[in-house]
Amino acid sequence: MKKNIHPKYYPDAKASCACGNSFAIGSTLPKIKTELCCQCHPFFTGKQKLVDTARRVEKFQAKMAAKKSATGARRGVKAKRAARAEKKKKEAGKVSKD
């Protein structure tokens, strides 16, 4: 077997989370920084936490709100046809009265 091909192993490497929690683990890196850990991950805490650095969640929520407001003014094909028929009846009634 070849010697000196494996990286150095640190049995007491320090892992730190964005929430402030830190603990010792075994790793090939002396320091590890993470965004989520078992103290702040939604699966373990039961609370919703959105980790979004590129504003993807806010953009999606804004897009869905705009779509919801636009659909309120939209009408279906049957409603449009009924409105056109009603309009034609009114115009036909005006012409016959004259």
* CATH number listed for the domain at residues 7-72: 4.10.80.400
Q: Identify the residue with better confidence: 23 or 41.
A: 23
pLDDT > 70: percent of the chain: 86
**19 in a known ligand binding site:** yes
pLDDT at 81 over 80: yes
**37 in a known ligand binding site:** yes
Whether the model pTM is above 0.85 = no
Q: pLDDT digits over 35-77, tens only?
A: 888 888 878 787 876 666 678 888 888 998 888 777 666 678 8
Residue of 1, 38, 4 lying closest to 21 (CA atoms): 38
**38 in a known ligand binding site:** no
Mean pLDDT, the chain, integer: 84
Give CA–CA dist 74/16, Å, rounded. Answer: 51
Q: From residue 97, how far is each of 62, 84, 85, 86 by CA, in Å?
A: 51, 20, 18, 17
